[in-house]
Chains A and B, each alone.
Chain A
Amino acid sequence: MTNLLINGKKHTLDVEPDMPLLWVIRDELGLTGTKYGCGVAQCGACTVLVDGAPVRSCSYPNSAAQGKHITTIEGLSPTASHPVQVAWKDLDVPQCGYCQSGQILAAAALLKRKPKPTDQDIDEAMTNICRCGSYRRIRAGIHQAAKTGLGIDSVIHMVSSTAVLSQGMKTGEDQQASCSGACQHEHDHGHDRTVQASLDASSASSPQTTPSRGFSSNCA
């Protein structure tokens, strides 16, 4: 019998000692937030915290976890209120989302160890694979959660449909086309802007709201 303490709850299980912790968590206990990605500790989708440290549970026998505190994504916070989770929602970090349980736990462990991480700290700690390419927003999310002031989220340059570009060339066959709403600010139509789109949470439920935080207008 294996005794495991997962998210503060004790479980007694009749499983082989070498069954990886991942499969105990997923298939025996039904906590499916922890994902299978590679089985060889390369991708980090299966990351859980063992006594607060990130562990790739696909390559970690459950017997080694006995007597330790295991935290899965379901146990990170009761209402998805961990600063990393909040930042992830705020910045729309996930795309498909499959790797994000592991990314979030790896990020949470990093912040516990290093409350104000540098980009280099992030590079070293965040080796989890994301195939959608959410890496930039993961980095921004960590900076935001840590309040390092270093995080730059997506930089979006808006080029107006009537802009005269490079070397004075008139560049469109569509000079008459009107800007139809892609710009966030009505008054910005007709000239270019640069937006650092750290979108305000309020815009999540109300896209009509002009985002008020994190935008800097930098007209070209």
Chain B
Amino acid sequence: MNTTTQAFTTLDETDSSSTSFLKKTATSRRSFLVSTSASVSALTLGFHVPSFAKEGSAAGAAVEVNAWVVIHPDDRCVIRIARAEMGQGSSTGLAQLVAEELECDWKKVSLEFITPGQNLARERVWKNMSTGGSRGIRESQEYVRQAGAAARMMLIQAAATQWGVPASDVSAKDGILHHESSKRSLHYGQVSAQAALLSPPDVKTIRLKNPKDWTIAGKPAKRLDTAHKVDGSLRYAIDHRAKDMLYAAIKASPVFEGKLKSFDATAILKKRGIKGVVKLDDNAIAVVADSWWRAKTALEEMPIVWDEANNGQVSSQSIAEHLKEGLTSDKNVFADTNVGQFDDAYAASAKKLEAVYSTPFVTHACMEPMNCTVLYTSERALAWVPSQNAEAALAALADGSGLPIEKCEAYNQTLGGGFGRRGGPQDYVRFAALVAKQNPGRPVKVLWSREEDMTHDYYRPIGQCLLQAGLDEQGNLKALHVRVSGQSINAYLAPHNIVGGKDRRQLQGYWPEPGDAQLGYTVPNLKIEYAMRNTHVPVGAWRGVNTNQNAIYLESFMEEVAHASGKDSLAFRQSMLKDHPQHLRVLNAVADKAGWGRTLPSGVFQGIAQFMGYGSYTAAVAEVSVKDGKVKVHRLVLATNSGHVVNTNQVAAQVEGSVAYAFDSLQSESSVLNGRIVETNFDKYKITRMVQLPKIETVLAPTFNFWGGVGEPTICVVAPAVINAIFRATGQPVRSLPLKNSGLELV
């Protein structure tokens, strides 16, 4: 299909022989600067008068109507995308939103990914490029729709001027402008050059469509980026090729925070293709060669001595002890919610329950391992990266290369998975810059082995949770205490986000305030606390982040409480969600569509869970059997209310895809021994496989009155739904993950 075969370009110069590159880049930068000065006020909204239009563009050239919309004379419409595409499909969704307001012909739409250097040069006309927290659409939707609408208004004005009629008499649909009374029409490509010369409309005059009138957005449009993914032609960063390119394999201290003490490169430097050995900072080393395999093989053979600092004795066991102390300690703990009098109410309860849950470190394992190619000269540094935040990658390139950021550019490619690993720390970019800097003039592709990737991640934080519940005579939950003890992402990556010693992020999903990740249950005496207990293991955002652990702790414990109260799992939850009708609505939707309480085959049990994250409400029902310790999930029904739905098919794909990470939550673990990660590759690390996947049904329950995220919120409800079904099947709660800790295995 033509729509997809050419649907996709990046502003990437694939010929990176340095001189032609620099020339091209310099030219485009100049034109950006010219255009930037033309219309500073318009820039804040992404509208600007393109330089080449003012300079008199050659006939036949594509015209930038505004920063987001480029129209070819043959009506092909290029929609620019600032957020990263890592499989979540939001580039297609964002294009749908622009096209919806632009009223272009969707069949003629293609995508173009902007670069952070361009964004910087144009005073961030494309705004935030960071792609995480399920924000890609919900945080951009308004300004990209406004950009589409503004371009449409300019195209209408250009046609009206040409015809000498009022703009209000001109309509636009499917890329054609109509003047009804005179039966005249023009294609977008015929007036785009004139439209581009017009001043952009004041944003206050832009009226966005009511979503109920959408014809392109809100539909199950196919992705625009599929064709290149089925014939091997899509180039990920790892696939970058350039003349005279060198390859590097790297190794950082296997013990976190350890240092490089010494190494002996004598033998490997004699090997075929080996160009050199490069020390990176004081804790990593790289071998540079004419082939990555040669570099990696030599690196493995090279004797290296590491200083393990004081971390060589740290183990999962010692970390568990450290966290356990935080469950009852008064030190370094804060209460984020303290409603009523938990202690008194709990003491007075007719029935008391107490449990400790635990969740391990888990790794991202993006299919495309960390990598980055950098071409460094004293004048310029260029990087080909897979980043969830191209601007952060650019900054890391500047940092590593030592060049001013204006002399750097990063070409972000489609990511072979992101899941949070490539959003915050751009360590792989900085490392590549350090290697390239020592090999000036030649591009160097720095690729991490899977082992390096898996043992130097920013892991999902480890945690334990003490939960206490007090019930009255009727089995109503009157008192609840949740004490999370575990590692803090902010402490590792963003200490400035910890205000007054209170790291609220670790309590994601338990927050009292509405909007993003609100606790749905109303309990009259409620205390929710966090005790920060950090380790030497790096932690970061893992798709769904802290909703994952927190939903497991609370929703699994709620099942224990429901059981103790003698109430049905659904009814018990419903009774406490009355103050939060959106939470309740999604729970009811999943119960309805799953057929909660229906007659099941012998040995199959249902489990249910609900939670909120990323501005969306989610709930799950799992149907599970357990035999001889083998846990089989037969069916998952997963409900989401994300407010609006831009592409039903892609939302369903995200919901279905969530199950892979959710099953990791149940079965995976990156454990620690001798200060280092034990599971170094997929032969040791348990990871979700096709055979484990059940039938998945997606329930979309949008209420069209808010914009919630989609990529992450479903993951956290799957694991507790499965755990709760296991509890009903076996009578034994699963409190310690991975499942093997309870003698169970997901099959």
Of the listed residues A72, A92, A155, the one surrounded by the most CB atoms of chain B closer than 10 A to its CB is A92
Q: Is the CB of B697 within 8 A of A132?
A: no
| Contact partners of A205 in chain B: CB under 8 A | 1, 3, 106-107, 222
* Residues of the A chain whose Cβ atoms lie less than 8 Å from the Cβ of B689: 127, 129, 135
Quick check: B649 and A199 within 8 Å, CB to CB? Answer: yes
B700→A208 contact, CB < 8 A: no
Residues from chain A with a CB closer than 8 A to the CB of B234 are: 97
Q: Which residues from A are CB-within-8-Å of B211?
A: 180-181
Closest to A38 in B: B450
Which of B127-135, B225-233, B392-400 touches A? Answer: B225-233
Cβ 8 A contact of A34, one of B223, B232, B644? B232
Check A182 against B450 for contact (C-beta < 8 Å).
Answer: no
Q: A80-B231, A85-B230, A100-B229 are in contact. Are A36 and B219 (CB under 8 A)?
A: no
Give B684-719 as 1s and 0s: 1 = Cβ < 8 Å from A's Cβ atoms.
Answer: 000111110101111111111100000000000000
Q: Which residues of A contact B49 (CB under 8 A)?
A: none
B1 touches A131 (CB 8 A): no
Check: A39 CB closer than 8 A to any chain B CB: yes
Min distance, Cβ A169 to any Cβ of chain B, angstroms: 6
A109 within 8 A of B: no
Contact with B along A30-47 (1 / 0, CB 8 A): 111111111110110100
CB distance from B567 to the nearest CB of A (A): 14
Complex-state Cα separation, A195 to B656, whole angstroms? 15
Please determine whether B703 and A39 come into contact, CB atoms closer than 8 angstroms. no
B645 with A35: CB separation less than 8 A: no
How many angstroms from the CA of A89 to the CA of B3 in the assembled complex?
Answer: 12
Q: Which residues of B contact A80 (CB under 8 A)?
A: 227, 230-231
Q: Which of B224-253 contact A (CB under 8 A)?
A: 225-236, 238-239, 241, 247
Asked if B217 lies at the interface with its beta carbon under 8 angstroms from chain A, I say yes
How many A-B residue pairs have C-beta atoms within 8 angstroms? Tell me.
324
Query: Are B221 and A207 within 8 A (Cβ)?
Result: yes
A101 touches B232 (CB 8 A): yes
Picked from A38, A45, A135, A156, the residue with its CB within 8 Å of the CB of B652 is: A156
Distance of A32 Cα from B384 Cα, bound (Å): 15
Bound Cα distance from A87 to B54, whole angstroms: 46
B residues 368-418 with Cβ under 8 Å of A? Answer: 368-369, 414-418
| Residues of B contacting A171 in the complex (Cβ-Cβ under 8 angstroms) | 581, 584-585, 588-589
Residue pair A154, B704 in contact (C-beta under 8 Å): no
Q: Is A12 an interface residue (CB 8 A)?
A: no
CA distance A101 to B247 in the complex (A): 23
Of chain A, the residue at the smallest CB distance from B272 is: A16
A-binding segment of B81-89, B279-287, B462-470, B735-743? B81-89
A residues less than 8 Å from B458 (CB atoms)? none
Assuming the contacts A181-B217, A199-B649, asked whether A172 and B704 have C-beta atoms less than 8 A apart, the reply is no
Q: B263 in the interface, Cβ–Cβ < 8 Å?
A: no
Contacts of B581 in A (CB 8 A): 171-173
Which chain B positions have C-beta within 8 A of A197?
220, 648-649, 652
Known: A95-B87, A181-B217, A204-B222. A32 touches B106 (CB 8 A): no
Confirm or deny: B366 has a beta carbon within 8 angstroms of a beta carbon on chain A. Answer: yes
Q: Which residues of B contact A132 (CB under 8 A)?
A: 87, 417, 657, 660
- Whether B163 sits at the interface, judged by CB under 8 Å, is no
Distance A89 CA – B225 CA, assembled complex (angstroms): 10
The answer, yes or no, to whether B591 is at the interface (CB within 8 Å) is: yes
Bound Cα distance A169, B588 (Å):
9
Tell me the minimal C-beta distance from A127 to chain B in angstroms.
Answer: 6
Question: Which residue of chain B has its CB nearest to the CB of A100?
Answer: B229
CB atoms of B657 and A203 under 8 A apart? no
Flag B633-656 by CB within 8 Å of A: 1 or 0 each. 000010100001100111011001
B658 part of interface (Cβ distance < 8 Å): yes
Chain A residues near B223 (CB-CB < 8 A):
92, 94
Interface of B toward A, CB cutoff 8 Å: 1, 3-4, 86-89, 96, 106-107, 210-223, 225-236, 238-239, 241, 247, 272, 291-293, 364-369, 414-419, 447, 449-451, 570, 574, 581-582, 584-585, 588-589, 591-593, 596, 637, 639, 644-645, 648-650, 652-653, 656-661, 681-683, 687-691, 693, 695-705
- With A133-B656, A204-B222 already in contact, 14 other A-B pairs whose C-beta atoms are closer than 8 Å: A23-B292, A27-B247, A43-B682, A74-B232, A92-B223, A96-B415, A101-B232, A127-B690, A130-B367, A131-B417, A136-B696, A159-B701, A180-B212, A207-B222
Top 8 nearest A-B pairs (CB, nearest first) are: A33-B232, A133-B660, A96-B87, A97-B229, A98-B416, A181-B218, A204-B222, A95-B87
> What are 24 A-B interface contacts by the 8 Å CB criterion?
A26-B239, A28-B291, A33-B231, A36-B369, A38-B681, A39-B450, A43-B367, A92-B223, A96-B367, A96-B414, A137-B653, A155-B697, A158-B700, A166-B592, A172-B582, A174-B582, A181-B217, A184-B220, A197-B648, A201-B222, A204-B221, A206-B107, A208-B215, A220-B593
Listed in ascending order, the chain A residues whose CB lies under 8 Å from chain B are 16, 19-20, 23, 26-28, 30-40, 42-43, 45, 72-74, 76, 80, 85, 88-89, 92-101, 104, 122-123, 126-139, 152, 154-159, 161, 163, 165-167, 169, 171-174, 177-182, 184, 194-195, 197, 199, 201, 203-208, 211, 220
